[in-house]
Structure 1
Amino acid sequence: MAVDPRRTALALGRFGLGARPGDLARGEPVEDILRREVLAGTVPLPSGPDLAATPTLLSALQAEEQARKLAREGASDAPIPEGPPPPPLPERTYRAEVAARLALAQAASTGFVERLVWFWANHFTVSVARGPRLRVSAGAFEREAVRPHVLGRFRDMLLAAATHPAMLIYLDNVASVGPNSPAGLRKGKGPDRGLNENLGRELLELHTLGADGGYTQADVTALARILTGWSLQRDGNAEGLPGSTTFRRGAHEPGAVTLMGRTYLDVGPGQLRMALDDLAAHPATARHIALRFARHFVADDPPPALVARLGRTFIDQDGDLSRLALTLLESPEAWDPVQRKVRSPQEFLVAALRGLALAPDPRTAMAGLASLGQPFWAAPAPNGYPDEAGAWASPEGLHARLDLAARAGQLAAGTDPTALADAVLGPLASDETRTALRRAESRAQGIALVLMAPEFQRR
């Protein structure tokens, strides 16, 4: 198959994280490269000295908070270290997690697998805005609950996400107690001991069936009852460190529960697995996932034929997410030459770094994403960051992008703007964009013009 440079440029923006210098000159059809990445089944794991397992991080946070409390009360005999104190653990961990993601994004061949990770991490949102425990564990949640399953089965990712400590904390399931459980019936129970429906509601509305998936309030309550008892270890023991996921039998609502017309016997933790397996295989879940997947990669209002095809694949392949990704690549609608999607702030920042071959600085990147309104793992609500142009193409958002593009132009002022346009846009660069580059007053301005060109802002 002859290599079409326009198709290559389109694919690296639409499915990947943007072209790097030399990427558009590859002699292999981009479809083959993308398919090979999926079929390899490899999802890179972030690495770094400050990246640890969630229970380790939560235990270290607990120890740090206790030490600070003792120091404030004057009860600590520990010597006072010289010099400024190190940043608190939540900030150190969050910065390390961001740095590791940026390094993976910069090194990725096309970035398609990384984009899949970003999509699923946003689908199963947890937010660092909920406090220190989420700030240390949100990155670990992506590493532990999302990445291992991005090219695997949806049902496995669903169970891993629903029972991960970060999700249990984020949606308040750690304090959810079955009304008729021993803990719920115990005298002198605290005011927080009751049934919490947050996780049950979001599992149905956001993670599986969708808002129009046919469930009722009774189903929300039923799933919340099934989820009771799923909590965290408070103290270290043979079962794990403080912060490990545990199933507290004494807090679990006893008895069978009927959810979406099916009855699940009280068989302990297996009750949740059976319920989530059925939700993962539900036709409404297939429709919901297919729509979100197509909307993310192709268009805010995706072609119905594409959504239907993705939904059929999801059902026929038993939620195999690698097959879902391959179906996207094999669908003609996904290759529409019109660039209909506006790059999100994260996509824009990473594409700029890749195109300019700039080594990502975590602090600068964090500040830039904060100004653009999309820090890593900080969505304002459980439905995640929006996936439509209206959320990112506002006058304020475009002004923030212009500021970032101008700073990038200054950092890479030695880069020839025309060469940059050839490297990251190639045949996608319009005559208007190339005319503007010729009229640029400086290289820095020319670079900013490339980054703000409609062909770069859209994918």
Structure 2
Amino acid sequence: MVSKDAFIAANRFGLGPLPLELDVIAKNPRGWLKRQITAEQKTPSLLQNLPNVAEIMSTYTRNRQMGNRGQNRGQGNRGGGNRQRGGNTFRQQQGQDYIDSVYSRTLNMIQTPAPFAEHMVKFWSNHFTVSNASRKIVGPIAVAYETDTIRPHIFGNFEDMLIAVAQHPTMLIYLDNHISMGPKSQMATNPRGGDGRARARGLNENLAREILELHTLGVNGGYTQTDVREFAKIITGWSFGGRGGGPEGPNGFRFKRWFHEPGPKTLLGQTYDSGTVNDGLDALKMLARHPSTAKFVATKLVRHFVADEPPASAIKKIEGVFTESKGNLAKVSEALIDLEEAWQSPFDKTKTPYELVLSTYRALDTGKPDKKYLMQTLGELQQTPFKASSPAGWPDVAKEWLNPETLMRRIEWMRALAAKLPRSVKPEELFADTIEAVASKQTKFWVKAAPSAEEAIALILASPEFQRR
């Protein structure tokens, strides 16, 4: 007998059930979730053949250098036309790489037998958002960023994830830290800088501010604008690739000493003065273990997995586990599963458009969705991965996703999709595999009264029960 708890496990914590999966989950919903918590998270096969960040950045750098050489030679209109065509080709390839990688990521989430683990990938990837909305180069390397920094640590240590994120070329580019230089750095005081090239840039606070506001302490976490500026100085020189500097680190990270601000810097009362990459690492470790970080992260987790208005009791429990375990995300995830507040109602959360698409294709199990159609759908529903409008990521409350216009878009997509399905998809089987355990009398009546299988399937997918988790 499929239970309410099985529905919650599959939808709130997972990504929606596959056919017949609810029967398996119902035997032990919490155990089914906890079995997915493993320290080692292997890269899914669908993502293993995607270009890595080093390959993509090498192509990007090579194209940029070719463009610069062409400009320096002062070529005429004919040469300029060639450069433009070359640039257009590169941009087209960037766009295709982005589409291919997002499709592979989405297909993996549709097919995964470990949807709670993938849900955690999605959650933490949104917490540490990168987006090509304002940085087109981010698009083709966004999935590589997620694979490098998020996947290995979803059940590891928050501190390790934070450091991996802050040192990854994708985040450094997205928030402009690769061009940030200390006011008194060698680069700033020597017009030609440490690498022999002229530069005229200054301190950039973007990464420092977002780490404090969005990744760790939260906007009310007790830091000041002075702390933002000091932290920005601490992480000057955090860049990637290029010549000189320290040895290359994970994913091409490089500490470029001639960009680094010399002298002591004070963040939240602690002074950092080694003049090396260790200052930034020590600052991140301090932030990862700060009490404000525990509260901020706990609040986001409870809002995502329990309710738009997160219960204070649940926040306190997760905050306590986060603090006591020093950010052990396996223990935090287990504590989330054990929150009684998460199992009281199956409808406290509304699926985002991306969650709706994932759960729909998981329920239908009709094979690989067409790539063009899938990407078009995500665009029309206004949640294509890695296209959030700001570093804050996608919103996590119903009021940001549901209004008459967006609801109609969902319904229209459900109808269009139902019309495309093969006859092998049976509404009675879909109903049993998805919402039967929690369906209202009204939903049951309208599904049963539908004049055709197509209409019945559309009604199931558009039902309030299927739209929520």
The 5 A counterparts of 1:333-372 are: 333-358=341-366, 359-372=368-381
Q: Which residue of 2 aligns with 1:111?
A: 115
In structure 1, C-alpha distance between the alignment counterparts of 2:16 and 2:257, rounded to whole Å: 49
Q: Which amino acid aligns with 2:387?
A: A
User: Does the 8 Å CA contact 1:128/1:377 hold for their aligned counterparts?
Assistant: yes
Asked if 1:295 corresponds to 2:293, the answer is no
| Structure 2 alignment gaps of length 5 or more | 83-88
Asked if 1:442 corresponds to 2:462, the answer is no
Judge which range, 102-111 or 417-426, deviates more: 102-111
Alpha carbons of structure 1 residues 392 and 19: separation in structure 2 relative to 1, 3 Å: same
The 5 A counterparts of 1:26-425 are: 26=24, 28-39=27-38, 41-45=40-44, 47-48=46-47, 51-64=50-63, 74=78, 88-187=92-191, 192-234=200-242, 244-358=252-366, 359-414=368-423, 415-425=425-435
Query: SS at the partner of 1:132?
Result: coil
Deviation at 1:360, TM superposition (A): 2.5
Q: Which amino acid aligns with 1:255?
A: G
Deviations 1:209-247 (A, max 9, x none): 000000000100010000111112236999569x93211
In structure 1, C-alpha distance between the alignment counterparts of 2:188 and 2:280, rounded to whole Å: 19
**Which residue, out of 425, 442, 460, partners 1:432?**
442
Q: Which amino acid aligns with 1:286?
A: A
Count residues in correspondence: 451
Deviations 1:20-78 (A, max 9, x none): 111112163121111111146435435457612212101123335667897996559x9
In structure 2, C-alpha distance between the alignment counterparts of 1:188 and 1:159, rounded to whole Å: 31
Asked if 1:16 corresponds to 2:14, the answer is yes
| Structure 1 alignment gaps of length 5 or more | 79-84
Deviations 1:396-433 (A, max 9, x none): 21111112111220122522222211111131122211
In structure 1, C-alpha distance between the alignment counterparts of 2:76 and 2:175, rounded to whole Å: 31
Q: Which residue of 2 aligns with 1:81?
A: none
User: Does the 8 Å CA contact 1:46/1:100 hold for their aligned counterparts?
Assistant: no
In structure 2, C-alpha distance between the alignment counterparts of 1:194 and 1:452, rounded to whole Å: 52
Alpha carbons of structure 1 residues 262 and 382: separation in structure 2 relative to 1, 3 Å: same
Q: Which residue of 1 aligns with 2:85?
A: none
In structure 2, C-alpha distance between the alignment counterparts of 1:371 and 1:386, rounded to whole Å: 17
Alpha carbons of structure 1 residues 411 and 86: separation in structure 2 relative to 1, 3 Å: farther
Alpha carbons of structure 1 residues 133 and 73: separation in structure 2 relative to 1, 3 Å: farther
In structure 1, C-alpha distance between the alignment counterparts of 2:110 and 2:414, rounded to whole Å: 18
User: Does the 8 Å CA contact 1:165/1:245 hold for their aligned counterparts?
Assistant: yes
User: Does the 8 Å CA contact 2:131/2:387 hold for their aligned counterparts?
Assistant: yes
In structure 1, C-alpha distance between the alignment counterparts of 2:11 and 2:154, rounded to whole Å: 20
Query: SS at the partner of 1:129?
Result: coil
Alpha carbons of structure 1 residues 13 and 321: separation in structure 2 relative to 1, 3 Å: same
In structure 1, C-alpha distance between the alignment counterparts of 2:22 and 2:467, rounded to whole Å: 18
Deviation at 1:4, TM superposition (A): 5.3
In structure 1, C-alpha distance between the alignment counterparts of 2:222 and 2:265, rounded to whole Å: 18
In structure 2, C-alpha distance between the alignment counterparts of 1:225 and 1:390, rounded to whole Å: 38
Query: SS at the partner of 1:263?
Result: strand
Deviation at 1:439, TM superposition (A): 2.1
Q: Which amino acid aligns with 2:215?
A: H
Query: SS at the partner of 1:246?
Result: strand
CA RMSD of aligned residues (A): 2.7
User: Does the 8 Å CA contact 1:127/1:134 hold for their aligned counterparts?
Assistant: yes
In structure 1, C-alpha distance between the alignment counterparts of 2:9 and 2:110, rounded to whole Å: 17
In structure 2, C-alpha distance between the alignment counterparts of 1:416 and 1:434, rounded to whole Å: 15
In structure 2, C-alpha distance between the alignment counterparts of 1:394 and 1:175, rounded to whole Å: 41
Deviation at 1:293, TM superposition (A): 0.5
In structure 1, C-alpha distance between the alignment counterparts of 2:192 and 2:452, rounded to whole Å: 73
In structure 1, C-alpha distance between the alignment counterparts of 2:339 and 2:47, rounded to whole Å: 38
Deviation at 1:105, TM superposition (A): 1.1
Deviation at 1:99, TM superposition (A): 2.1
Query: SS at the partner of 2:437?
Result: helix
User: Does the 8 Å CA contact 1:10/1:428 hold for their aligned counterparts?
Assistant: no
Deviation at 1:352, TM superposition (A): 0.3
Alpha carbons of structure 1 residues 46 and 196: separation in structure 2 relative to 1, 3 Å: farther
Q: Which residue of 1 aligns with 2:86?
A: none
Identical-residue share of aligned pairs (%)? 35
Question: So what's the TM-score if we normalise by structure 2?
Answer: 0.90
User: Does the 8 Å CA contact 2:217/2:292 hold for their aligned counterparts?
Assistant: yes
In structure 2, C-alpha distance between the alignment counterparts of 1:166 and 1:439, rounded to whole Å: 52
